[in-house]
């Protein structure tokens, strides 16, 4: 007993209380919240930082530089200059990442995801170009230079097999920008945050009090102006989620609704009973690109595709024969999704 007593160290009660108080302070630490506009949409970022540093100026510069690379709405961007066939346009790391990811997902989805649909997107009035009168002859002519096999990346330069080929990374660029901003926060030692840009989300860690970060999946009600009621609440930790839907961006012509997701094989907006596709993963760029491809595929083809790529966890909302909402959900998501009715 004497030997044991010599090894014991008595911690004064005041020190114990100090430790407890410090833990309480950390649990009640106020988050840093920043928001703004970028890429034609909005962003919202919340993070916990012991030094309470505000990174909004740095983040806005990152997003501005990102647009200078891959925004088709910026005439001087790298992608716009390539689409205009400007000579010797050297691409940057943002463009290279987008191009390589697009090629990967294009192959995996058997062309359901294809960023060379830019001319079709414009023709239908979903891009920066003026809407054209849709006729079969027009669509057939554009399809002749649609296909990701008609373009390749050699070093830091893009090579086209047909000069009319043009690129549109908008279907997954916002997801990638979420990853870019998340990488910046990681570099600053921030270990608890949630980044949302245009509805695409990545969350790291948990809040100091142990709570998960949460986000929502909307009901796919046609609504181009405002947010919809939530269909489900999602708890995120070290996970991204990106959602593609046909309820936000669409046109109605002669009483027919045309959503902005173009089927690269037909040249027309995809028509199936899949209303919304949310894809979960470790990086938002992959989730965003696959969400677009899945929405174009439709439910039946998506199920076959997902069986080949079980790492992609999905929450799919579709319409049954009576027009009611139904859900197809990956088994691994049951612990993080709570449906609302």
The number of folded domains in the chain is 1
Q: Is residue 4 assigned to a domain? A: no
In a domain, 27, yes or no: no
pLDDT value, residue 248: 59
| The predicted structure's pLDDT at residue 255 | 55
pLDDT in tens, the chain (341 residues): 433 333 334 444 444 444 444 444 455 679 999 999 988 889 999 999 999 999 999 999 999 999 999 999 999 999 999 999 999 999 999 999 999 999 999 999 999 999 999 999 888 888 777 788 889 999 999 999 999 999 999 999 999 999 999 999 998 999 999 999 999 999 999 999 999 999 999 999 999 999 999 999 998 876 556 577 899 999 999 999 999 987 655 555 555 545 668 899 998 888 888 999 999 999 999 999 999 999 999 999 999 999 999 999 999 999 888 888 899 999 889 889 987 65
Computed on alpha carbons and rounded to an integer, the radius of gyration of the chain in Å comes to 23
In a domain, 10, yes or no: no
21, part of any domain? no
**Residue 336 DSSP symbol:** T
Cβ contact 121:132 at 8 Å: no
Q: What is the CATH number of the domain that holds 315?
A: 3.10.520.10
SS3 of the chain: helix, strand, coil, percent, to 5:
35, 25, 40
CA 265 to centroid of chain Cα atoms: 23
Domain range enclosing 84:
32-339
Cα separation, 101 vs 171, whole angstroms = 12
25 lies in some domain: no
Let me know the angle formed at the C-alpha of 265 by 270 and 143, rounded to the nearest 5 degrees.
115
Question: Cβ neighbours of residue 115 under 8 Å, at least 6 residues apart?
Answer: 102, 106, 148, 167, 168, 169, 171
Does any domain span residue 12? Answer: no
Domain annotation covers residue 14: no
Q: Does residue 199 belong to any structural domain of this protein?
A: yes
């Amino acid at each position: 007993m004497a030997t044991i007593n010599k090894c014991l160290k008595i911690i004064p009660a005041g020190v114990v209380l100090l430790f407890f108080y410090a833990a309480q302070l950390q649990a009640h630490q106020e988050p840093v919240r920043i928001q703004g506009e970028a890429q034609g949409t909005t962003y919202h970022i919340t993070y916990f930082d012991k030094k309470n540093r505000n990174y909004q100026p740095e983040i806005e510069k990152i997003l501005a530089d990102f647009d200078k690379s891959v925004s088709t709405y910026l005439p001087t961007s790298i992608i716009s200059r390539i689409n205009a066939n400007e000579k010797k346009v050297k691409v940057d790391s943002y463009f290279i990442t987008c191009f390589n990811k697009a090629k990967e997902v294009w192959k995996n989805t058997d062309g359901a995801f294809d960023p060379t649909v830019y001319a079709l997107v414009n023709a239908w009035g979903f891009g920066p170009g003026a809407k054209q009168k849709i006729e079969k002859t027009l669509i057939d002519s554009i399809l002749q230079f649609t296909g990701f096999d008609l373009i390749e990346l050699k070093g830091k330069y893009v090579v086209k097999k047909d000069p009319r080929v043009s690129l549109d990374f908008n279907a997954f660029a916002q997801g990638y920008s979420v990853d870019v901003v998340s990488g910046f926060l990681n570099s600053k030692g921030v270990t608890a945050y949630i980044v949302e840009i245009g509805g695409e989300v990545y969350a790291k860690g948990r809040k100091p009090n142990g709570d998960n970060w949460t986000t929502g999946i909307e009901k796919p009600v046609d609504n181009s102006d405002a947010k919809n009621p939530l269909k489900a609440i999602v708890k995120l930790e070290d996970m991204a989620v990106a959602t593609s839907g046909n309820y936000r961006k669409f046109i109605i012509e002669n009483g027919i609704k045309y959503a902005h997701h173009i089927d690269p094989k037909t040249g027309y907006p995809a028509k199936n009973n899949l209303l919304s596709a949310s894809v979960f993963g470790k990086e938002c760029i992959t989730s965003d690109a696959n969400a677009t491809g899945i929405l174009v595929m439709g439910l039946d083809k998506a199920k076959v595709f997902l069986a080949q790529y079980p790492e992609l966890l999905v929450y799919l909302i579709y319409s049954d024969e009576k027009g009611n909402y139904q859900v197809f959900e990956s088994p691994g998501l049951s612990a993080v999704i709570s449906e609302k009715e």
